Amino acid sequence: MNYVPVRPELLRWARERAGLPLDSLITRFRKLNDWEMGRSEPTFKQLEAYAKTTRVPFGYFFLSEPPEEPLPIPDFRTIADTPLQHPTPDLLDTIYAMQRRQAWLREERIEQGADPLAFVGSVAMENTPLTVATEMRRILGIGTDWAREHNTWTDALRALRVGLEELGVVVVINGVVGNNTHRKLDPMEFRGFVLADHYAPLIFLNGSDGKAAQMFTLAHELAHLWVGQDAVFNLLDLEPADVNVERFCNRVAAEFLIPENEMRTAWTEALSTNAPYQAIARRFKVSELVAARRALDLAMIQQGAFTDFYNRYLDRERNISTGSEGGGDFYATQGVRVGRVFAEAVNHAVREGRLLYREAFELTGLYGTTFDKYVSKAGIRGD
């Protein structure tokens, strides 16, 4: 039997990189503890299986030491009382896939003579959050009370997504890596990220998060686009990282979703109800936590009241499953996993012979007849 001399620290690094505790792998790799301690070595087949399980390229196990894999975009994830963990393969693979999409779309739009999108990077942090939020709504063609026009969070989120797509922004909402339902994205690791670009800006929302939470994440990412700054973040406890651009984008997002003047009027009405945060959340199509945080930031409630509500909110949320980004219909789900504006660009290039089907499959994650069925069912244009 052929055993492979692999450094124990590489085996341990692979497991920790994947976020897998030792106990969860022992049943499949019975000697894993011995491998990590250097007391024995895996066979070639065992190492292949271990690489697949931990989602580590097989060749990495022959390195002299674990490689550095920093996030390819600024990491503005916040932490509580523990060190910020190494990004998981799920997060890394998702960012890489979106970067490939963006790179192709950028080149495609430039070749087709598209103009750069003027709003990307159009504001500076010297502006007030009110000024930036007002400009964002102007470009989108919506008013301060736009969310009230929609019945549900889902409707409001969809309307905002469609509005952004009409501006040329690729918006992707996905709760798994690609279409792999066994690789669910963890909103505690990240809620979203943004890839700012003048020709092909892209926003990614973690679809495993709740719809109301996605709304705040989307607004936060919008602010990043207007500033022109890439970022990945999780907004733990709704607190941004201790970085100027993150604090600024959070304030812009809050003003965009719940304008201060509207909030002061609505708060008076909300106090007459038994659930003021819920009343604000329903009106502005945000989560109750966002509503409470806005009330705190505007000095409408004290820190103690917010903390009490926050703890109750977390207890309740732990018992409620978060929203899904696409429902049960596979092709309906692809509408948000691929992004309509991106799908139309790909289909257009395929129809004109500038993109091979094989390349279209790799870019969209839809293979064979699945791609054509999606294009047909979703009414994706190719002209």
Residue 231: is its pLDDT beyond 70? yes
Q: What is the pTM of this model?
A: 0.86
Q: Which long-range contacts (CB under 8 A, 24 or more apart) does 273-281 make?
A: 277/309, 281/212
Question: Closest by alpha carbon to 62, among 18, 11, 104, 25?
Answer: 11
pLDDT in tens, 132-165: 999 999 999 999 989 989 998 889 999 999 999 9
Residue 80: is its pLDDT beyond 80? no
Compute the CA torsion angle 362, 365, 367, 373 (nearest 10 deg): -130
The one-letter amino acid code at 331 reads Y
Q: What confidence category does residue 321 fall into, taking pLDDT thresholds of 50, 70 and 90? A: very low
Spatial separation of the C-alpha atoms in residues 307 and 150, rounded to whole Å: 30
Spatial separation of the C-alpha atoms in residues 102 and 100, rounded to whole Å: 5
The three-state secondary structure class of 184 is strand
Residue 326: is its pLDDT beyond 50? no
Work out the average pLDDT over 185-195. Answer: 92
Q: Which two tokens stand for residue 44?
A: 């070639």
- Residue 322 is predicted with a pLDDT of 45
Question: Closest by alpha carbon to 220, among 209, 207, 204, 208?
Answer: 204
The full set of domain ranges for the chain reads 8-62, 89-257, 330-377
Residue 171: is its pLDDT beyond 50? yes
Residue 247: is its pLDDT beyond 60? yes
